[in-house]
Structure formats: C-alpha cells, structure tokens
Amino acid sequence: MSAQAPPGIEAINAYVGRAYLPVDELFEARGLDQQRSGNLMMTAKSINLPCEDPVTNAVNAARPLIDGLPVADRDQIELIVVGTESGLDFGKPISTYVQEYLGLGRRCRSFEVKHACYGGTAALQTAVAIVGTSPVPGARALVIATDAASVAARNTYWEPSQGAGAVAMLVGRDAEVLRIDPGASGYHSFEVMDTLRPRPDLEAGDSDLSLLSYLECLDQSYRAYCARVRSADLVRSFDHLVFHTPFAGMVTGAFRRLRRQHSPASPAEIDADFAVRVASCLTYTQQVGNVYSASLYLALCSLLDGVEVAGPRRIGMFSYGSGCGSEFYSGVVTPAGKARVARQGIAAAIADRHRLSIPEYELLSDLSLDRMSGVRDHGYDVTPYQQVYAHTLAGRGLLVLDRVENFHREYRWS
C-alpha cells in the first residue's frame, strides 16, 4: 500500500460472549408484555460470566487479530486505545491490562476514552488521526470497544436488550475492512440526561428521551455530513447503511424516519430499501444484544458477513452515545475486507454459545456485581457455576478474571 493511503480498519473481530438466554424466556420470567418483545426485534442476549469483565471481553476480541500478525507487525502497534462506558478505575485505563495480556511492546501510547456508546467511534477516529499523521511506515493502532452490562436493569424493558462482548480493530493504511473517507464526517452533540451510569450498580435514564435524542442526532449529524459532502444523497451515495443498534427495532424506525426526512418515498419503497441496505447489519445484534460502545462495529461485522461485496462499496455509518454525542461518517468496504471478517468466524461463535436456564441466569447476575469497578479484594471462584463454566470457558484459552488484590486485577487463561 502507498504510504499516502488514508488509514482505516485493516482487520476486525468480535467477542460475543460464551453464554446466552432467549429473550422470550426472560420476558416470561419477568412478566413483561410480550407485545413489546416484537418492538425489540431480538431473539437472544449474550451474557458474561462473573469471571468476565470489560478487560476479558477486550482481550478475547483482540487476541485472534494479534496472533494473526507476524511478530514484526505486532511491534508496529504504537497505540492502544479502548472505548468503554464500563471503566474500572477513575485513573488507570483498561488499555494497560490489554497491553499486558496481549504481550504488546512498551513503546506504545495507551489510553481509554469514554462517551457512552459513542466511545468506540471516538477511539477509532482518534486512532485514524494519529496513524494518519505518523511518519513511521507501517504504524498501526489497536482499537477496542468493550463493555460489560451491570445487573441494575433487572425487571425493566432494558434488561432483555443488554448484551455482552467487545469488538477489536486493527487500524492502519492497508484498510481493506473499512477505508474511512477523509473529512467526510458530520457531528451533532448536546447535553442531555437520557441514559447514565452514575454508580457501578446503577443504570438509569429516560428511554423515551433517549429515543428522541437518537433520532435528532441521526437527522442532524447526517445534515452536517451533507454540508461537508455536497454531493451526498441518502439513496444513491451509500450501498449500505450501518447504525448504532441498542436494539434492532430502534434502527427500523430510525431508518424510516431518516428516509422520510431526506429522501421521501412510499412506505413499501422504504421497507424494500431497508431490506436491501440495512437489514443485514442487524443480524448479530438480534442474537447478541446491545454491546454499547461496540454496537456499531458489531453491526459492521454483521453487514460484511451478511451481504455480497463484489467490489468496493461505500457505506454510511451512524454512531450515537447518550449524554449525548453522535457522528455520521462514510467509508469503503472491499471484497478482501469481507474475506478477513469471514475468517474470524463470528457467526459460528454466536451459534456455539451455551444456553442458560433462568435459574442459571439469575445466579450469574447476582454474582456479577463482584466484577464491577470499586472492588478492593475478591477471588473469583467458579464453583457456584461450575457446570456453566465448564461448558463455556474451561480449556478454551480465553482470558478470565482470577482475583482482585488491593484493587489490582489479575487475570488467567481458562
């Protein structure tokens, strides 16, 4: 590749958790209105075990990418940046643990960024800018969007949508997965208390306000994109569109509204357009749930695994984070990038998850409070859920949380 090629995503992988629960079973167990299950458009949610946290999710997503690099290329990773809304310390970033357990070199920038579900995009765009201005040939960055849901949303309509996992991306100039269009971004942000995590054990917010903020940001960030890219046309400029996906039903309504605002057509035409250009980006989220800062990039993986890419194709990407911030940007995907994603076997990993019973889910949820931030000393004994651990993590060489001693987290390979 030319040294002047714009940077973007060279490789991408998702860790989708090793256990899951069917959403309809959770609706029944909680006594929730089954009609609202149709609005979610979800079939299952991935679940972390109590010995998993944002660090393990991040490392387990990134390790196949790092293992696939020659040693010389690993040394070219000059930046590790983690986007998360599940930080474990007010000072120490998750990226330090990632660097250690992936065995990456010490001549490296390392930091963490936060802006709710926009954090993954904030991390990616920061890495693209740093790599793009580096004079070092072959310089790369490792970007990871990772989160771990708390159990604070029990007995709410948010609980069925909460997933578990992370998406890792290698950023460099051989950007076959996504060549980001330089300067082609529109932003929109303002202060709003739509959803928030004021404490490790508390998630709060206003779901209606969050929906309205999402819709406003989609409209306004796309308008800002059009102001920069004067030739932009919602229908003709993008072969596909990829959305931040808290749940699939939200994207369905958001796309219809965006079309009515910027390229009106009959409901039948809009639905047909959705089926061709958007629906494939929702498949994985429907089976995994909302993975917060990684949501948009799990949707990108879903798109690339789900559609034919016969040649370079331009896609539009919409990222939203509560609080709130948003960005609409574009880039080009390629057949080689689709092949790279296919080699990661994300669909097979989703299919290989262990199905939990409701009692197992309740036990894991109770114990998961001990993995959140603020824990000073704790040993992560898997005995209470030994059978689940045996089915999901034992002997698979995945990173798990072993103990916390004086706030310092220590991990081991399963």
**Residues forming the active site:** 85, 117, 244
Region at 87 (left for phi over 0; alpha for psi -120 to 50; beta for the rest): beta
Task: Name residue, tokens 């802006």.
Answer: 115
Amino acid, single-letter form, for residue 51: C
Q: Which of 208, 203, 205, 237 is nearest to 222 (CA)?
A: 237
Q: What's the gap between Cα 19 and its chain centre?
A: 17
Q: What residues contact 17, with CB distance under 8 A and at least 6 apart?
A: 46, 47, 48, 52, 57, 163, 164, 165, 288, 353
Q: Distance between CA atoms of 96 and 188, rounded to whole angstroms? A: 31
- Kindly state the tokens that stand for 88: 């474990």
Residue 409 φ/ψ, nearest 5 degrees: -85, 135
- Kindly state the tokens that stand for 137: 């040939």
Q: Which of 65, 98, 68, 66 is nearest to 80 (CA)?
A: 98
Q: Are 16 and 288 in contact (CB under 8 A)?
A: yes
Task: Name residue, tokens 């706030």.
Answer: 407
Angle at 280 between CA 277 and CA 285, to 5 degrees: 135
Q: Distance between CA atoms of 86 and 238, rounded to whole angstroms? A: 33
Q: Are 293 and 119 in contact (CB under 8 A)?
A: yes
Q: Distance between CA atoms of 19 and 45, rounded to whole angstroms? A: 8
Q: Are 15 and 352 in contact (CB under 8 A)?
A: no
